[in-house]
Amino acid sequence: MEYDDTPEAQALAERTREFMESEVRPAEREALKQGSVEDGVRHELQEKAREAGIYAPQIEEEWGGMGMEFADVLPTFEVAGRYLLGASAIRIDAPDEGNMHTLELVGTEEQKEEYLRPLVADELRSGFSMTEPQPGAGSDPKMIQTTAEKDGDEWVINGHKWWTSNGSVADFLIVMARTDEDAHPYNGCSLILVDVDTDGVEIVRDIPHMGGGLSDDGHAEITYDNVRVPEENLLGELNEGFTHAQQRLGPARLTHCMRFSGMAERALDIAKAYVSEREAFGTPLAEKQGIRFDVADAEIRLHAARSMVRHAARQISAGSEARIEVAMSKVFTANVVNDILDQTVQMCGGNGIGKDLPIAHFYEGARSFRIVDGADEVHKRVIARDAFEDVDPTEVEHVLRY
């Protein structure tokens, strides 16, 4: 299927595809045999990605990336998503990718030198510490309980977080905390940079969860007990934490969409090859109409998801927040990916649930996509609220009249 991607976007995606097949796929196959990724494999792949000219395409050259337009890197995110080690190999892996974006947008020059440059180079790892256990913030971020109070020239942070991706391997965390308890949380929260070796930071545990696998570095539960950091660790504007989080999450949701659609695409490719070869009841499975219709539906919906994401990305590149377009893309893509992966497991039968193929790994990891970065229901609430804003009470009677 052809899309209106720029020549630069197409060229980068093609170079990435060649790199993934020649370098990442063999490393992935070996890691699957061993059940883990050996130390050094990640950095070796990254060094080769630099040589191939595909490393960190979404970050400005000044900070170690390639400086490409946001919309132009999305096809590459999809290509990388086809491989279990693809995103980390070219440094577009979450949550570091989103944290790079946040630092690049709102960080001071000093913060960029201290945190962004080594983060892009993969000399540091990071976590985004926002979600809290009950009664704190989950799907409703207004319930955030963690506080950061000013004491002289320091912030003193107290709170309890969980589901902090990379938390147990991170060198630093971006912490969302209430800095004005008298204000509405949307107007009274800030982002603060916290080194994990700061006194009072305790990584309680990695939360056992569905999925995981080779590219998952855990989701930590963390407590902050009178954690003191310098006032210059404030990231962005005071009390604008939710504004900055939205600046981070909008593009991050779209890059997630493309990585996951890459998973679905590869799973579908594997399933089509399998049913073309596998015979049952006298003919190849690929000749059964039920399977052919399932594949047709999958291709239609995957094309629609890609088109929606590209539309939202163009809106962001043009300076729009594109909140509704992003919400629609995220909900639709998450459900399409889950449905396609479920179909491909079924099409491949025993080979689908076995782990000689990557489909089972994709299937386990993709279910969380309907929850992380905003559950389906939260995004639908936003979309519905916007839809009903178009209803003019003075026009209701006219609209309802035949």
* pLDDT tens, position by position, 197-235: 999 999 999 999 887 766 678 899 999 999 999 999 999
Q: Are strands 126-129 and 172-178 parallel, antiparallel or unpaired?
A: parallel
Which has more confidence, 31 or 118? 118
Q: What's the rounded Cα separation, in Å, for the pair 315 and 8?
A: 19
311: tokens are 């539309």
Q: How far is CA 88 from CA 55, 58, 84, 121, 206, in A?
A: 10, 13, 9, 11, 20
User: What pLDDT shows up at residue 331?
Assistant: 98
Tokens 């995606």 belong to residue: 13
State the Rg of the chain over Cα: 22
User: What pLDDT shows up at residue 396?
Assistant: 75
The answer, yes or no, to whether residue 363 has pLDDT greater than 80, is: yes
User: What pLDDT shows up at residue 218?
Assistant: 87
Rounded average pLDDT over 58-77: 96
Q: What's the rounded Cα separation, in Å, for the pair 240 and 222?
A: 23
Which has more confidence, 52 or 210? 52
Identify the CA nearest to 317 among candidates 109, 86, 5: 5
Per-residue pLDDT reduced to its tens digit, 94-114: 999 999 999 999 999 999 999
240: tokens are 């604008």
User: What pLDDT shows up at residue 137?
Assistant: 80
Element (H, E) at 176: strand 172-178
User: What pLDDT shows up at residue 1?
Assistant: 66
Q: What's the rounded Cα separation, in Å, for the pair 92 and 340?
A: 24
User: Where residue 119 falls among pLDDT bands split at 50, 70, 90?
Assistant: very high
Per-residue pLDDT reduced to its tens digit, 333-343: 999 999 999 99
- For the chain, the first-to-last Cα distance in angstroms comes to 42
Q: Which range among 35-39, 162-166, 300-304 shows the weakest confidence by mean pLDDT?
A: 35-39
The answer, yes or no, to whether residue 401 has pLDDT greater than 80, is: no
User: What pLDDT shows up at residue 295?
Assistant: 98
Element (H, E) at 189: strand 189-195
Who's near 343: CB < 8 A, 6+ residues apart? 271, 294, 298
User: What pLDDT shows up at residue 402?
Assistant: 66
Q: Which range among 117-121, 139-143, 289-293, 355-359 shows the weakest confidence by mean pLDDT?
A: 139-143
Which has more confidence, 339 or 247? 339
The answer, yes or no, to whether residue 39 has pLDDT greater than 80, is: no
User: What pLDDT shows up at residue 216?
Assistant: 73
Share of the chain above pLDDT 90, in %: 83
Identify the CA nearest to 264 among candidates 24, 101, 79: 79
The answer, yes or no, to whether residue 297 has pLDDT greater than 80, is: yes
Rounded average pLDDT over 145-160: 98
Hey, is 146 helix, strand or coil?
coil
Rounded average pLDDT over 71-76: 96
Helices 359-366 and 241-277, axial angle in degrees (round to 10): 150
User: What pLDDT shows up at residue 301?
Assistant: 98
80: tokens are 């990388």
Rounded average pLDDT over 343-356: 95
